[in-house]
């Protein structure tokens, strides 16, 4: 089992996953062709983003 996540802002234990796509993608510096979506784990109570993770780091 993983470690229980607790929001450092509001102490909530409820999180959901979202994603940055399109212009919210992460692009390789000085190149617009290589990019990847970014997944975000955020608190549903206050919106605090706990983690960001590049979905396809091998593109870089």
Mean pLDDT of the chain: 86
> Model-level pTM?
0.74
Q: What tokens appear for 14 in the block?
A: 């409820």
C-beta of residue 26 within 8 angstroms of C-beta of residue 35: yes
C-beta of residue 45 within 8 angstroms of C-beta of residue 10: yes
9 φ/ψ angles, rounded to the nearest 5 degrees:
-90, -50
Where are the domains positioned within the chain? 15-59
| DSSP label of 22 | G
How many CA atoms lie within 13 Å of 33's alpha carbon, on the beta-carbon side?
Answer: 0
**Model confidence band, residue 32 (pLDDT cutoffs 50, 70, 90):** low
């Amino acid at each position: 089992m993983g470690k229980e996540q607790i929001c450092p802002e509001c102490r909530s234990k409820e999180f959901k996953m979202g994603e940055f796509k399109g212009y919210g993608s992460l692009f390789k510096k000085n190149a617009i062709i290589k990019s990847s979506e970014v997944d975000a784990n955020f608190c549903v109570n206050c919106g605090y983003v706990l983690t960001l993770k590049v979905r396809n780091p091998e593109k870089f």
